[in-house]
Structure 1
Protein backbone atom coordinates (compact mmCIF):
# COMPACT_ATOMS: atom_id res chain seq x y z
CA UNK A 1 0.00 0.00 0.00
CA UNK A 2 2.77 2.44 0.94
CA UNK A 3 4.69 1.62 -2.24
CA UNK A 4 1.70 2.23 -4.48
CA UNK A 5 0.96 5.52 -2.70
CA UNK A 6 4.60 6.57 -3.10
CA UNK A 7 4.56 5.60 -6.80
CA UNK A 8 1.34 7.52 -7.36
CA UNK A 9 2.72 10.60 -5.59
CA UNK A 10 6.01 10.41 -7.52
CA UNK A 11 4.13 10.07 -10.82
CA UNK A 12 1.95 13.07 -10.00
CA UNK A 13 5.02 15.15 -9.16
CA UNK A 14 6.73 14.18 -12.41
CA UNK A 15 3.63 15.01 -14.43
CA UNK A 16 3.26 18.35 -12.68
CA UNK A 17 6.91 19.20 -13.24
CA UNK A 18 6.66 18.19 -16.87
CA UNK A 19 3.56 20.33 -17.28
CA UNK A 20 5.37 23.37 -15.88
CA UNK A 21 8.49 22.97 -17.97
CA UNK A 22 7.13 24.55 -21.20
CA UNK A 23 5.92 27.62 -19.30
CA UNK A 24 9.40 28.19 -17.88
CA UNK A 25 11.01 27.53 -21.27
CA UNK A 26 8.89 30.28 -22.85
CA UNK A 27 9.99 32.92 -20.33
CA UNK A 28 12.50 35.44 -21.67
CA UNK A 29 15.89 35.91 -19.99
CA UNK A 30 15.76 38.23 -16.97
CA UNK A 31 17.24 41.67 -17.66
CA UNK A 32 18.40 43.74 -14.67
CA UNK A 33 17.38 47.40 -14.67
CA UNK A 34 20.10 50.01 -14.22
CA UNK A 35 19.36 53.63 -13.42
CA UNK A 36 19.04 55.69 -16.59
CA UNK A 37 18.56 52.68 -18.91
CA UNK A 38 16.29 53.31 -21.91
CA UNK A 39 13.29 50.99 -21.81
CA UNK A 40 11.15 50.34 -24.89
CA UNK A 41 7.88 49.37 -23.18
CA UNK A 42 4.90 49.23 -25.52
CA UNK A 43 2.69 47.03 -23.32
CA UNK A 44 3.01 45.77 -19.75
CA UNK A 45 1.92 42.12 -19.61
CA UNK A 46 2.32 41.49 -15.89
CA UNK A 47 3.92 42.98 -12.78
CA UNK A 48 4.56 41.53 -9.34
CA UNK A 49 2.76 43.37 -6.55
CA UNK A 50 4.90 45.35 -4.11
CA UNK A 51 5.02 43.34 -0.86
CA UNK A 52 4.14 44.76 2.53
CA UNK A 53 7.65 44.84 3.97
CA UNK A 54 9.90 47.69 5.06
CA UNK A 55 12.92 47.08 2.85
CA UNK A 56 14.05 47.24 -0.77
CA UNK A 57 12.93 44.15 -2.68
CA UNK A 58 13.50 42.82 -6.20
CA UNK A 59 10.39 42.80 -8.41
CA UNK A 60 9.73 41.55 -11.94
CA UNK A 61 7.80 42.99 -14.84
CA UNK A 62 7.00 41.16 -18.07
CA UNK A 63 6.53 43.55 -20.97
CA UNK A 64 6.40 43.73 -24.74
CA UNK A 65 8.54 46.20 -26.66
CA UNK A 66 7.55 48.15 -29.80
CA UNK A 67 8.84 45.27 -31.98
CA UNK A 68 6.61 42.68 -30.28
CA UNK A 69 9.44 41.02 -28.31
CA UNK A 70 8.79 40.04 -24.69
CA UNK A 71 11.21 41.03 -21.93
CA UNK A 72 11.43 40.14 -18.24
CA UNK A 73 12.78 43.09 -16.26
CA UNK A 74 14.03 42.80 -12.69
CA UNK A 75 14.10 46.05 -10.74
CA UNK A 76 14.21 47.11 -7.10
CA UNK A 77 11.48 48.92 -5.22
CA UNK A 78 10.82 49.90 -1.64
CA UNK A 79 8.19 47.74 0.02
CA UNK A 80 5.06 49.51 1.18
CA UNK A 81 5.13 48.21 4.75
CA UNK A 82 7.05 51.06 6.38
CA UNK A 83 5.40 53.24 8.99
CA UNK A 84 6.18 56.96 9.24
Structure 2
Protein backbone atom coordinates (compact mmCIF):
# COMPACT_ATOMS: atom_id res chain seq x y z
CA UNK A 1 0.00 0.00 0.00
CA UNK A 2 2.87 2.35 0.84
CA UNK A 3 4.40 1.73 -2.59
CA UNK A 4 1.08 2.48 -4.27
CA UNK A 5 0.96 5.96 -2.71
CA UNK A 6 4.57 6.57 -3.72
CA UNK A 7 3.89 5.59 -7.34
CA UNK A 8 0.72 7.71 -7.46
CA UNK A 9 2.61 10.71 -6.09
CA UNK A 10 5.41 10.25 -8.58
CA UNK A 11 2.99 10.10 -11.51
CA UNK A 12 1.28 13.29 -10.31
CA UNK A 13 4.61 15.13 -10.10
CA UNK A 14 5.54 13.90 -13.58
CA UNK A 15 2.26 15.22 -15.00
CA UNK A 16 2.79 18.62 -13.36
CA UNK A 17 6.35 18.80 -14.67
CA UNK A 18 5.12 17.98 -18.16
CA UNK A 19 2.45 20.69 -17.96
CA UNK A 20 5.09 23.31 -17.09
CA UNK A 21 7.37 22.26 -19.96
CA UNK A 22 5.20 24.15 -22.45
CA UNK A 23 6.86 27.55 -22.86
CA UNK A 24 4.57 30.53 -23.35
CA UNK A 25 5.70 32.75 -26.25
CA UNK A 26 6.83 36.19 -25.08
CA UNK A 27 5.11 39.19 -26.64
CA UNK A 28 6.48 42.71 -26.49
CA UNK A 29 5.08 44.47 -23.43
CA UNK A 30 4.41 41.31 -21.39
CA UNK A 31 5.11 41.80 -17.69
CA UNK A 32 7.27 38.99 -16.35
CA UNK A 33 7.55 38.51 -12.58
CA UNK A 34 11.09 37.07 -12.53
CA UNK A 35 12.61 36.48 -9.11
CA UNK A 36 15.24 33.96 -10.23
CA UNK A 37 16.26 32.55 -13.61
CA UNK A 38 16.51 28.76 -13.37
CA UNK A 39 17.78 28.00 -16.89
CA UNK A 40 18.30 29.43 -20.36
CA UNK A 41 18.11 27.12 -23.38
CA UNK A 42 19.57 28.77 -26.48
CA UNK A 43 20.02 26.47 -29.48
CA UNK A 44 23.13 26.87 -31.63
CA UNK A 45 22.29 28.78 -34.78
CA UNK A 46 25.27 30.82 -35.86
CA UNK A 47 24.13 34.41 -36.36
CA UNK A 48 20.59 33.45 -37.25
CA UNK A 49 17.59 34.26 -35.08
CA UNK A 50 16.68 31.29 -32.89
CA UNK A 51 13.89 30.53 -30.42
CA UNK A 52 15.29 30.44 -26.89
CA UNK A 53 13.51 29.27 -23.74
CA UNK A 54 13.92 30.75 -20.27
CA UNK A 55 12.68 28.93 -17.17
CA UNK A 56 12.29 31.11 -14.10
CA UNK A 57 10.74 31.36 -10.64
CA UNK A 58 8.32 34.18 -9.89
CA UNK A 59 8.03 36.06 -6.60
CA UNK A 60 5.66 33.36 -5.28
CA UNK A 61 8.15 30.57 -6.06
CA UNK A 62 6.15 29.18 -9.00
CA UNK A 63 8.02 27.95 -12.08
CA UNK A 64 7.29 29.42 -15.51
CA UNK A 65 8.79 29.02 -18.98
CA UNK A 66 8.79 31.63 -21.70
CA UNK A 67 10.10 31.36 -25.26
CA UNK A 68 11.50 34.33 -27.15
CA UNK A 69 13.50 35.13 -30.27
CA UNK A 70 17.16 36.11 -30.05
CA UNK A 71 20.35 36.05 -32.05
CA UNK A 72 22.25 32.74 -32.01
CA UNK A 73 25.10 32.25 -29.54
CA UNK A 74 27.74 31.71 -32.22
CA UNK A 75 27.56 35.27 -33.58
CA UNK A 76 30.52 37.45 -32.62
CA UNK A 77 30.78 41.11 -33.46
CA UNK A 78 34.46 41.97 -33.97
Normalising TM by the smaller chain, what interval? Answer: 0.5 to 0.7
Question: What runs of 5+ residues in structure 2 fail to find an aligned partner?
Answer: 1-13
For 1:43-70, what per-residue CA distance to the aligned partner results, in whole angstroms no more than 9, with x for missing partners? 1111114625121000111100011110
Equivalent positions of 1:13-28 (< 5 A) are: 22=14, 25-27=16-18, 28=20
> In the alignment, what sits opposite 1:37?
30
TM-score by length of 2: 0.65
| Aligned residue pairs, count | 62
C-alpha distance in 1 between matches for 2:38 and 2:76: 31
Where do 5+ consecutive residues of structure 1 fail to align?
A: 1-21
Higher Cα Rg: structure 1 or 2? Answer: 1
